[in-house]
Amino acid sequence: MKTSLTALALALTATAAFAEYPDKPVEVVVGYSAGGGTDVMARTVAQFLEQELGDGASVVVKNMPGAGGQIGFTEVSEAAPDGYTLGSFNLPAALALTKDRAADYDVDSFTYLANFVEDPNTITVAATSPFQTLDELIDAAEADPGAITLGLSSLGGNDHFAANMMQDASGAEFTLVPFKGASNARTAIMGGHVAAGTMTLGQTSNFPDELRVLAVLADERSPFRPDVPTAKELGYDVQMSSLRGIVAPAGLDDATTDRLRAALSAVNENPDFQEMMAEQGNPIAFMVGDEFAATSAKQDGIATQIWAETPWK
């Protein structure tokens, strides 16, 4: 009863807001260059969001690359909370960089609308690697602390946090090697220049014959690779992933917030959208509103803790 009342109230406010919003183009700021994974997601969402907002609404993606996404995230946090500036939001990257440098925003600077993608981290070796299981890799790291090198896409990102949490959970010591980007790290693993890596499952998917995924750092096995065990099953309770969603500046009024959340939920339910995301290799993990905000707060806590215990610069 209560939920149906809320739904009714939501529908009413949505209809009320419908009259005035949006009466000009809605901008989605992406903190990375056109053609990156986040950009492609934002453009796909934008295309379907236009349909959902209806009435000739226009949703435009604006790329503001630089400083690891910081320029774009800052732009969104400082924009007027009128519903005409939205932004793509990457976790944990967006919040991790508020720990290791001065940033003009924090976890509370945003209105959390909806998260679309969650790509779990993994422990991955080359197909030619002698390590067949996660335990073999960890045994080798315990036998000679630091001898096992882990290729990461950067310091202060989900790859790094995954490696750090894996070290804590297993007690093994790895040598962390931060490459410039996930593809460089993956290539170094394939070429045998580093022993293993923590790249996300999505980044392994096009290299089935070249890479061996030893474990997925998630609560449950991935539907994309049901054959790969989770680290939890193997006795290491570690979860880390890369998330991509849509946020607005903090202080967005309730009516517009609800309208956007409802529209984004409708985008998610559109089978065409689901199909396009699957084609792009984007694993959907839809979270709307408070659930997304709670995830963001949790990620913020993890980043704060890792930065306090083992600062990376």
Partner 1 sequence: MYSDLLHALPDVFAWTNFAAVVIGVIAGIVVGAMPGLSATMAISVLVPFTFGLEPLVALGLMAGIYNGAMYGGAIPAVLLRIPGTPAAVATTFDGYPMAQKGEGGFALQVAVVSSSIGGIASAFALMLLAPPLSKVTLLFGPSEVFWVAVFGLASIIFLLGGNPVKGLISACFGVFVSVIGSDPIYGNDRFTFGQLEMLDGINIVILLVGLYALPPVIDLLETPLKTDGVNSSKLGTQSLWKALPRMKSYWKTWLRGSLLGIWIGILPGAGGSMAAFMSYNEARRTSKHPETWGEGEPEGVAAAEVANNADTASALIPALTLGIPGTAVAAVMLGGLLVHGLQPGPMLFRDNPDVVFGFMWQFLFGAILLVLLGGSLATNSFARLLNLPRPLLGSVIIVLMLIGVYSIHGRMFDVYLMLGFGAIGWVMDRLKFPLPPVVLGLILGGFAEENLRLALRIGRGDPMVLFQNWTSLILVALTVAVVVGPTLKKRFIDSRKKA
Query: What residues make contact with partner 1 under the rule CB under 8 A?
Result: 33-37, 39-40, 43, 47, 61, 63-68, 70-71, 74, 100-102, 146, 149, 154-156, 175-184, 186-188, 190-194, 205-210, 276, 279-281, 312-313
Shortest distance, position 300 Cβ to partner 1, whole Å: 19
List CB contacts of 17: < 8 A, sequence separation 6 or more.
255, 256, 258, 259
Nearer to partner 1, 11 or 60 (CB): 60
Instruction: Give the whole-angstrom CA distance, residue 111 versus residue 253.
Output: 10
Nearer to partner 1, 47 or 265 (CB): 47
Shortest distance, position 271 Cβ to partner 1, whole Å: 17
Shortest distance, position 121 Cβ to partner 1, whole Å: 17
Nearer to partner 1, 108 or 275 (CB): 275
Nearer to partner 1, 43 or 261 (CB): 43
Nearer to partner 1, 75 or 258 (CB): 75
Shortest distance, position 214 Cβ to partner 1, whole Å: 19
Specify the amino acid at residue 236.
Y
Shortest distance, position 56 Cβ to partner 1, whole Å: 17
Cβ atoms of 201 and 188 closer than 8 Å? no
Nearer to partner 1, 254 or 275 (CB): 275
Shortest distance, position 270 Cβ to partner 1, whole Å: 17
Shortest distance, position 202 Cβ to partner 1, whole Å: 9
Nearer to partner 1, 6 or 280 (CB): 280
